[in-house]
Amino acid sequence: MAIIGFIGLGIMGRPMAKNLIKAGHKLVVYDKFAKFDDLVSLGAEGAVSNKEVASKSEIIITMLPNSPQVKEAIIGVGGVIEGLKKGTIVVDMSSIAPEACREVGAVLAKKNAAFLDAPVSGGEPGAIDGTLSIMAGGDKAAFDTVKPILEKMGSPVILAGPLGAGNVVKLANQIIAAVNLAAVSEAFTLASKAGINPRTVFDAIKDGLAGSAIMNAKIPSILDGNFKPGFRLELHIKDLQNALDTAHDLGVPLLLTAQVMEIMQGLRVDGMATSDHSAIIKFYEKLAKVEVRKQKAVR
């Protein structure tokens, strides 16, 4: 069984790494900013640098905030590239700009290493439960090699196309999630302002055409006033910025995405950058002067 290097042990990466350990894989782990004693206690080997991870691994997974961090960890000074062995497969599971994927992949190709982008959807709950949706881009042979490993962290695991395709699919996912959250927020704020119990609204529409996975996941927490981050608002802002940049390069207008981005930016200025992205509803609540919170269901 191949030794797996895992770099980036935050809200998402830590439970993902734990699932690989539980599945019997040997891991070498490192995070520049976070301690990982808990993973070592589960059997992982701790490293002191990205370079050391690469020198001890045959497959390397990265799970980092954005394109600059991925570039630094993989092709920067002291990065994976300095300890890389010929034939290594590097899988970046972060959500970054498609163009950044292709840039990193081109550098690794000169070292005879394969690179896949394989961003995920499902947030912290999916990372913990091993139920992430994984969308990949890159060489099919490399993908087929790592697919059984990726399946320990989620399903479905889909090869979307060439390098960068995984992140294009992820950007599409994040656009839909953001616009959906805004629509849900508008609807529930309207109902609450009109005096309708939001719990009743949820029960009435969740199984109909307007129902969605994101509404089912987020409304119960909103009704409890719980905005603990499963997916931080600031990370969704990052994803939408990558979507807008990519769309501008391709000549594709993203009108709704741009509007939701401005809502999120307003919330960031109000100090909610580290709240869950469902905090979008607070933007509408503030304007409408109403709170969408839990009430007893009407019978």
Catalytic residue set: 170
Radius of gyration of the chain, Cα coordinates, nearest whole angstrom? 20
- CA of 98: how far to CAs of 35, 76, 274, in Å? 30, 18, 25
Q: Please, where are the H alpha helices in the chain?
A: 13-22, 37-41, 50-55, 67-75, 98-109, 123-129, 140-150, 165-193, 198-205, 213-223, 233-250, 255-269, 280-288
Strands 59-62 and 45-46: unpaired
Preceding amide of 148 cis, omega within 30:
no
- Extract the tokens encoding 267: 């919330």
Gap between the Cα atoms of 158 and 156, Å rounded: 6
Gap between the Cα atoms of 291 and 154, Å rounded: 35
b/e per residue 59-76 (b: at least 16 CB within 10 A): bbbbbbbbbebbbebbbe
